[in-house]
Amino acid sequence: MLGVIGGSGFYSFFGDDARRVSSDTPYGSPSAEITVGAVGGHEVAFLPRHGAAHEYSAHTVPYRANMWALRALGVRRILAPCAVGSLTPELPPGSVVVPDQLVDRTRGRVDTYFDDGGVHVEFADPYCPALRAAVTGLPDVVDGGTMVVIQGPRFSTRAESQWFAAAGFRLVNMTGYPESVLARELEMCYAAVALVTDLDAGVDVGAGVKAVDVFAEFQKNIEPFKNLVHQAIEQIDAERTCTHCLSHAGVQLPFELP
Protein backbone atom coordinates (compact mmCIF):
# COMPACT_ATOMS: atom_id res chain seq x y z
CA MET A 1 0.00 0.00 0.00
CA LEU A 2 1.15 3.55 -0.77
CA GLY A 3 0.59 6.49 1.55
CA VAL A 4 -0.05 10.19 0.92
CA ILE A 5 0.25 12.70 3.76
CA GLY A 6 -1.47 15.96 2.84
CA GLY A 7 -0.08 19.28 4.04
CA SER A 8 -1.66 22.69 4.65
CA GLY A 9 -4.75 23.02 2.46
CA PHE A 10 -4.49 19.38 1.31
CA TYR A 11 -7.18 17.82 3.48
CA SER A 12 -8.78 15.29 1.13
CA PHE A 13 -7.73 13.07 -1.74
CA PHE A 14 -10.67 10.77 -2.46
CA GLY A 15 -14.42 11.05 -2.90
CA ASP A 16 -17.15 9.84 -0.57
CA ASP A 17 -16.71 6.26 -1.75
CA ALA A 18 -13.33 5.93 -0.03
CA ARG A 19 -12.95 3.47 2.81
CA ARG A 20 -12.46 5.19 6.17
CA VAL A 21 -10.14 3.75 8.79
CA SER A 22 -10.05 4.83 12.42
CA SER A 23 -6.96 3.76 14.30
CA ASP A 24 -5.19 4.06 17.60
CA THR A 25 -1.49 3.58 18.26
CA PRO A 26 0.85 3.30 21.25
CA TYR A 27 1.46 7.02 20.63
CA GLY A 28 -2.17 8.11 20.61
CA SER A 29 -4.51 8.80 17.71
CA PRO A 30 -3.31 10.09 14.34
CA SER A 31 -4.27 13.53 13.04
CA ALA A 32 -7.47 12.27 11.42
CA GLU A 33 -9.22 9.24 9.98
CA ILE A 34 -7.26 7.59 7.20
CA THR A 35 -9.12 7.23 3.90
CA VAL A 36 -8.23 4.44 1.48
CA GLY A 37 -8.87 4.46 -2.26
CA ALA A 38 -7.34 3.40 -5.56
CA VAL A 39 -5.02 5.40 -7.82
CA GLY A 40 -3.41 3.97 -10.95
CA GLY A 41 -3.65 0.36 -9.81
CA HIS A 42 -2.29 1.15 -6.33
CA GLU A 43 -4.19 1.00 -3.08
CA VAL A 44 -3.50 4.37 -1.44
CA ALA A 45 -4.00 5.52 2.15
CA PHE A 46 -4.44 9.26 2.67
CA LEU A 47 -3.90 11.12 5.94
CA PRO A 48 -4.16 14.92 6.35
CA ARG A 49 -1.12 15.89 8.41
CA HIS A 50 -2.80 18.81 10.18
CA GLY A 51 -6.18 17.13 10.67
CA ALA A 52 -9.34 17.27 8.57
CA ALA A 53 -9.88 20.93 9.45
CA HIS A 54 -6.30 21.97 10.27
CA GLU A 55 -6.62 21.34 13.99
CA TYR A 56 -2.88 20.77 14.45
CA SER A 57 -0.15 23.34 14.01
CA ALA A 58 3.23 22.15 12.75
CA HIS A 59 4.73 21.77 16.21
CA THR A 60 1.72 19.86 17.61
CA VAL A 61 1.15 17.32 14.80
CA PRO A 62 1.15 13.78 16.29
CA TYR A 63 3.95 12.65 14.00
CA ARG A 64 4.71 9.35 15.74
CA ALA A 65 1.05 8.33 15.78
CA ASN A 66 0.62 9.28 12.11
CA MET A 67 3.54 7.27 10.83
CA TRP A 68 2.81 4.27 13.08
CA ALA A 69 -0.84 4.18 11.96
CA LEU A 70 0.14 4.20 8.29
CA ARG A 71 2.72 1.45 8.77
CA ALA A 72 0.23 -0.67 10.75
CA LEU A 73 -2.29 -0.31 7.93
CA GLY A 74 0.21 -1.75 5.46
CA VAL A 75 1.80 1.38 4.00
CA ARG A 76 5.45 0.98 3.01
CA ARG A 77 5.95 3.93 0.64
CA ILE A 78 4.87 7.53 1.31
CA LEU A 79 4.59 10.71 -0.75
CA ALA A 80 4.41 13.76 1.50
CA PRO A 81 3.03 16.91 -0.18
CA CYS A 82 3.77 20.07 1.77
CA ALA A 83 3.70 23.86 1.53
CA VAL A 84 7.08 25.61 1.58
CA GLY A 85 8.59 29.05 1.37
CA SER A 86 11.25 29.71 -1.25
CA LEU A 87 14.68 31.05 -0.31
CA THR A 88 15.55 32.00 -3.88
CA PRO A 89 13.76 34.01 -6.59
CA GLU A 90 14.56 31.13 -8.93
CA LEU A 91 11.72 29.20 -7.28
CA PRO A 92 8.68 31.52 -7.39
CA PRO A 93 5.26 30.71 -5.92
CA GLY A 94 3.63 27.85 -7.79
CA SER A 95 6.89 25.93 -8.25
CA VAL A 96 6.89 22.24 -7.34
CA VAL A 97 10.16 20.97 -5.90
CA VAL A 98 11.28 17.52 -4.75
CA PRO A 99 14.00 18.19 -2.16
CA ASP A 100 16.95 15.85 -1.83
CA GLN A 101 18.26 17.08 1.53
CA LEU A 102 16.94 18.57 4.76
CA VAL A 103 18.31 20.51 7.70
CA ASP A 104 16.55 20.23 11.06
CA ARG A 105 16.11 23.52 12.95
CA THR A 106 13.21 22.31 15.12
CA ARG A 107 13.43 21.90 18.87
CA GLY A 108 11.66 19.79 21.45
CA ARG A 109 9.90 17.50 18.96
CA VAL A 110 9.94 13.81 19.74
CA ASP A 111 11.81 12.38 16.77
CA THR A 112 12.35 8.69 17.48
CA TYR A 113 10.56 5.48 18.41
CA PHE A 114 13.73 4.11 19.99
CA ASP A 115 14.15 5.62 23.44
CA ASP A 116 16.26 2.62 24.42
CA GLY A 117 18.08 -0.22 22.73
CA GLY A 118 20.88 1.78 21.09
CA VAL A 119 19.21 1.89 17.66
CA HIS A 120 20.63 4.35 15.12
CA VAL A 121 19.31 4.85 11.56
CA GLU A 122 21.32 5.94 8.54
CA PHE A 123 19.94 9.30 7.38
CA ALA A 124 22.63 10.81 5.15
CA ASP A 125 20.14 10.83 2.28
CA PRO A 126 16.76 11.35 3.93
CA TYR A 127 14.51 10.75 0.93
CA CYS A 128 13.78 7.62 -1.06
CA PRO A 129 15.50 7.76 -4.48
CA ALA A 130 12.86 5.59 -6.14
CA LEU A 131 9.95 7.77 -5.00
CA ARG A 132 11.86 10.95 -5.83
CA ALA A 133 12.42 9.66 -9.37
CA ALA A 134 8.70 8.99 -9.82
CA VAL A 135 7.94 12.65 -9.13
CA THR A 136 10.93 14.38 -10.71
CA GLY A 137 10.21 12.62 -13.98
CA LEU A 138 7.02 14.67 -14.37
CA PRO A 139 6.98 17.91 -16.40
CA ASP A 140 7.94 21.18 -14.67
CA VAL A 141 8.99 19.52 -11.41
CA VAL A 142 12.26 20.83 -9.96
CA ASP A 143 14.68 18.09 -8.92
CA GLY A 144 16.67 18.72 -5.77
CA GLY A 145 17.37 21.34 -3.15
CA THR A 146 17.84 21.49 0.59
CA MET A 147 14.76 22.13 2.74
CA VAL A 148 15.37 23.64 6.16
CA VAL A 149 12.67 22.70 8.67
CA ILE A 150 11.93 25.36 11.30
CA GLN A 151 10.00 25.00 14.52
CA GLY A 152 7.05 27.28 13.80
CA PRO A 153 4.35 28.24 14.25
CA ARG A 154 5.89 31.66 13.50
CA PHE A 155 7.52 32.44 10.18
CA SER A 156 11.20 33.36 9.92
CA THR A 157 12.68 36.77 10.57
CA ARG A 158 14.42 38.50 7.66
CA ALA A 159 17.79 37.75 9.22
CA GLU A 160 16.94 34.06 9.57
CA SER A 161 15.79 33.83 5.95
CA GLN A 162 18.97 35.51 4.73
CA TRP A 163 21.04 33.19 6.92
CA PHE A 164 19.31 30.12 5.48
CA ALA A 165 19.73 31.38 1.92
CA ALA A 166 23.42 32.18 2.49
CA ALA A 167 23.91 28.60 3.70
CA GLY A 168 22.61 27.35 0.35
CA PHE A 169 19.19 26.15 1.49
CA ARG A 170 16.45 26.61 -1.12
CA LEU A 171 13.23 25.85 0.77
CA VAL A 172 11.88 26.49 4.26
CA ASN A 173 9.14 24.40 5.86
CA MET A 174 7.70 23.52 9.29
CA THR A 175 6.66 19.85 9.01
CA GLY A 176 9.36 17.93 7.13
CA TYR A 177 10.97 16.82 10.38
CA PRO A 178 10.53 14.52 12.29
CA GLU A 179 8.14 12.95 9.78
CA SER A 180 10.95 11.90 7.45
CA VAL A 181 13.16 10.27 10.08
CA LEU A 182 10.21 8.46 11.69
CA ALA A 183 9.47 6.97 8.28
CA ARG A 184 13.08 5.79 8.07
CA GLU A 185 12.87 4.23 11.56
CA LEU A 186 9.78 2.32 10.41
CA GLU A 187 11.54 1.31 7.18
CA MET A 188 9.05 3.14 4.99
CA CYS A 189 10.17 4.84 1.77
CA TYR A 190 9.43 8.56 1.97
CA ALA A 191 9.71 11.56 -0.35
CA ALA A 192 8.56 15.15 0.17
CA VAL A 193 6.80 16.97 -2.66
CA ALA A 194 6.94 20.70 -2.00
CA LEU A 195 4.65 23.39 -3.39
CA VAL A 196 6.14 26.89 -3.10
CA THR A 197 3.59 29.32 -1.66
CA ASP A 198 5.75 32.40 -1.05
CA LEU A 199 9.17 34.00 -1.18
CA ASP A 200 10.48 34.06 2.37
CA ALA A 201 10.83 37.37 4.22
CA GLY A 202 14.55 37.85 3.64
CA VAL A 203 14.27 37.05 -0.06
CA ASP A 204 11.35 39.28 -1.07
CA VAL A 205 12.60 42.70 0.05
CA GLY A 206 9.90 44.85 1.61
CA ALA A 207 7.48 41.98 2.12
CA GLY A 208 6.85 39.52 4.93
CA VAL A 209 5.13 36.17 4.96
CA LYS A 210 1.48 36.22 6.03
CA ALA A 211 -0.47 33.05 6.74
CA VAL A 212 -3.51 34.25 4.81
CA ASP A 213 -1.39 34.70 1.68
CA VAL A 214 0.24 31.29 2.08
CA PHE A 215 -3.13 29.53 2.34
CA ALA A 216 -4.51 31.52 -0.60
CA GLU A 217 -1.58 30.55 -2.81
CA PHE A 218 -1.86 26.90 -1.82
CA GLN A 219 -5.61 26.92 -2.47
CA LYS A 220 -5.05 28.45 -5.90
CA ASN A 221 -2.76 25.57 -6.83
CA ILE A 222 -4.35 22.72 -4.91
CA GLU A 223 -6.17 20.97 -7.78
CA PRO A 224 -3.15 20.95 -10.14
CA PHE A 225 -1.03 19.84 -7.19
CA LYS A 226 -3.38 16.94 -6.40
CA ASN A 227 -3.32 15.96 -10.07
CA LEU A 228 0.47 15.95 -9.98
CA VAL A 229 0.45 13.62 -6.96
CA HIS A 230 -1.97 11.34 -8.83
CA GLN A 231 0.39 11.28 -11.82
CA ALA A 232 3.37 10.54 -9.58
CA ILE A 233 1.57 7.58 -8.01
CA GLU A 234 0.90 6.19 -11.46
CA GLN A 235 4.67 6.25 -12.13
CA ILE A 236 5.49 4.19 -9.03
CA ASP A 237 6.27 0.52 -9.60
CA ALA A 238 3.75 -1.99 -8.37
CA GLU A 239 6.37 -3.77 -6.27
CA ARG A 240 8.70 -2.09 -3.83
CA THR A 241 12.31 -2.77 -4.77
CA CYS A 242 14.06 0.01 -2.85
CA THR A 243 16.54 -1.14 -0.20
CA HIS A 244 17.88 2.35 0.59
CA CYS A 245 15.18 2.90 3.22
CA LEU A 246 15.60 -0.47 4.98
CA SER A 247 17.69 0.76 7.87
CA HIS A 248 17.63 -2.11 10.35
CA ALA A 249 19.39 -4.93 8.50
CA GLY A 250 21.36 -6.97 11.01
CA VAL A 251 20.05 -4.92 13.96
CA GLN A 252 18.17 -6.38 16.91
CA LEU A 253 15.25 -4.03 17.59
CA PRO A 254 13.74 -3.63 21.08
CA PHE A 255 10.27 -4.24 19.62
CA GLU A 256 8.69 -5.50 16.41
CA LEU A 257 7.69 -2.97 13.80
CA PRO A 258 3.93 -2.90 13.13
Contact 62, 29 (CB under 8 A): yes
Contact 2, 131 (CB under 8 A): no
49 annotated as belonging to a binding site for a ligand? yes
8 annotated as belonging to a binding site for a ligand? yes
Task: Give the active site residue among 24, 104, 125, 198.
Answer: 198
Give yes or no for a cis peptide into 30 (omega within 30° of 0): no
180 annotated as belonging to a binding site for a ligand? no
Per-residue pLDDT of the chain (258 residues), as tens digits, is 999 999 888 888 998 888 999 899 999 999 999 999 999 889 999 999 999 999 999 999 999 999 999 999 999 999 999 999 999 999 999 999 999 999 999 999 999 999 987 899 999 999 999 999 999 999 999 999 999 999 999 989 989 999 999 999 999 999 999 999 999 999 999 999 999 988 886 676 556 566 666 667 667 778 899 999 999 999 999 999 999 999 998 888 999 999
Please report the pLDDT score of residue 221 as a whole number. 75
Known active-site residue 115: no
Known active-site residue 17: no
Task: Give the active site residue among 24, 116, 143, 200.
Answer: 200
Structural domains of the chain, with CATH:
2-235 (3.40.50.1580)
Which amino acid is it at 68? W
Please report the pLDDT score of residue 116 as a whole number. 83
174 annotated as belonging to a binding site for a ligand? yes
pLDDT digits (tens, 9 = 90+) for 179-232: 999 999 999 999 999 999 888 866 765 565 666 666 676 677 788 999 999 999
Please report the pLDDT score of residue 177 as a whole number. 98
| Entry pTM | 0.94
Contact 214, 103 (CB under 8 A): no
Q: Give 132-196 as a DSSP string.
A: HHHHHTSTTEEE--EEEEE--SSPPPHHHHHHHHHTT--EEESSHHHHHHHHHHTT-EEEEEEEE
